[in-house]
Structure 1
Amino acid sequence: MGRNKLQRFKENEENRNVIQSGKPIFENIKGKWNTDQFQNENPIVVELACGRGEFTVGLAREYPAQNFIGVDIKGSRIWKGSKTALEEGLENVAFLRTQIQQLSEFFDTEEISELWITFPDPFPRDGDEKRRLTSPRFLDMYKPLIKKNGVINFKTDNTGLFDYSLELVRSREDIEILSHTHDFYQSEWKDDHHGIKTRYEKIFSDQGEKIKYLKFRFI
């Protein structure tokens, strides 16, 4: 393991905005994000597979009256977002280091107001369907964690994953689609995201890939 990565792990251990194994708050944060982490009653917005946290931090800049949590298992990635938030004095940002399938261990019923799924691994093989973050397994996990009328946003460059996800949510009687497009930056919703892009979104956009977007909620 490189020296830089070891230094990043050490800083994650010290940074208050990183919630990870080994810290007392890691075992007790469920249902207490507002009181124990943010110390306010503002809505909680969660980004899954946040990577370096560009989107989490970008949203936090735009919406200071909301709390933002990026979730990823890679400590060397979330270190970047954590560092940026601390340098900018953004108190409404935190990062949770865990596997996404463990999400319900860290969030209580209706604790999340909005969820973002940004450029996840498409897992294209049929045998890997259950690993997709928009599969029935994951949707059923998200449902009780999101407040009534809370929304889920999904962005991807992968047409196969997008079409799979769109068809799936259309088939469910407990989901209402609010908007969807196969070309986000030519759509009426492009300005809603304030030009904030993840690292992967920038790469895909520069390669000419069209970005797909889906917004829905449970009913």
Structure 2
Amino acid sequence: MSRKKLVRFKQNEENPNVVQDGKPIFETIKGNWNTQQFQNEHPIVVELACGRGEFTVGLARQFSDQNFIGVDIKGSRIWKGSSTATAEGIHNVAFLRTQIELLDRFFAEDEIAELWITFPDPFPRDGDEKRRLTSPRFLEMYKPLLKSEGILHFKTDNTDLFNYSLELFQSRTDIEVLGFTHDFYQSEWKDDHFGIQTRYEKMFSEKGEKIKYLKCRFI
């Protein structure tokens, strides 16, 4: 492991806005994010596969009356968002280092107000369907965690993943699709991300890839 990564992992251990294995809060945070991490009762917005945390931190900058949590397993990526938030004095943001398939170990029923899935790995092979963050397996996990009327947002550059997800969502009787587009920046929903672009989104857009987006809620 490189020295740079070791330094970043050490900073993650010390930074209170990172919740990860080895910290006492890691075992007790489920159902207690408002009291133990944020010390307020503001709504909780979660971004899955947050990477470097640009979107999570960007939302936190704009909405001081909400709490934002980025989830990723890569500590060196989380370090970037954590360090940015610390340097800017942004206190309504945190990062959870864990595998997303374990999400229900860290959030209680009705604890999440909004959920963002932004540019996840498409896992294109049929045998990898269960690994897609929009697959039935994951939807069943998200459903109880989201509050009633809670919104699930999904953005991707991958057409096959988007079409798979849209078809799946529309086929379910417990999901209401509130809107979707195959060209986000030419749609009526282009302001739903509040002008925040991640490094990867910019890269995809510059290559001419159209960004796909949908939002839905569980009934």
Question: Normalising TM by the smaller chain, what interval?
Answer: over 0.9
Q: How does 1:194-209 map to 2 (within 5 A)?
A: 194-209=194-209
Q: Deviations over 1:165-186 (max 9, x none)?
A: 0000000000000110000000
Opposite residue 184 of structure 2, the aligned amino acid is: F
Distance 2:199 2:136 in 1: 27
- Residue matched to 1:137: 137
SS of residue in 1 equivalent to 2:16:
coil
Distance 2:24 2:48 in 1: 22
Offset of residue 195 of structure 1: 1.3
Distance 1:108 1:152 in 2: 17
1:27 aligns with 2:27: yes
- Residue matched to 1:101: 101
1:16 aligns with 2:16: yes
Q: Which runs of 5+ in 2 are unaligned?
A: none
Q: How does 1:54-65 map to 2 (within 5 A)?
A: 54-65=54-65
Q: After TM superposition, where is structure 1 displaced by more than 4 Å over at least 4 residues in a row?
A: none
- Residue matched to 2:113: 113
Tell me how many residue pairs correspond in the alignment. Answer: 219
Offset of residue 192 of structure 1: 2.7
Offset of residue 194 of structure 1: 2.0
Compare 91-100 and 194-203 and name the one that shifted more: 194-203
Q: How does 1:141-152 map to 2 (within 5 A)?
A: 141-152=141-152
Distance 1:202 1:6 in 2: 29
- Residue matched to 1:48: 48
- Residue matched to 2:154: 154
Offset of residue 191 of structure 1: 2.0
RMSD value, Cα: 0.5
Offset of residue 189 of structure 1: 1.2
Opposite residue 96 of structure 1, the aligned amino acid is: L
Offset of residue 62 of structure 1: 1.0
1:39 aligns with 2:34: no
Distance 2:3 2:206 in 1: 32
- TM-score normalized by the length of structure 2: 0.99
Offset of residue 198 of structure 1: 1.5
Distance 2:176 2:199 in 1: 29
Distance 1:25 1:6 in 2: 22
Distance 1:166 1:8 in 2: 38
Distance 1:147 1:196 in 2: 24
Offset of residue 200 of structure 1: 1.2
SS of residue in 2 equivalent to 1:217:
strand
Opposite residue 178 of structure 2, the aligned amino acid is: L
Offset of residue 193 of structure 1: 1.7
Opposite residue 213 of structure 1, the aligned amino acid is: Y
Distance 2:14 2:72 in 1: 18
- Residue matched to 1:66: 66
Offset of residue 154 of structure 1: 0.1
- Residue matched to 1:216: 216
Q: Deviations over 1:96-148 (max 9, x none)?
A: 00000000000000000000000000000000000000000000000000000
Offset of residue 27 of structure 1: 0.5
Offset of residue 70 of structure 1: 0.1
- TM-score normalized by the length of structure 1: 0.99
- Residue matched to 2:76: 76
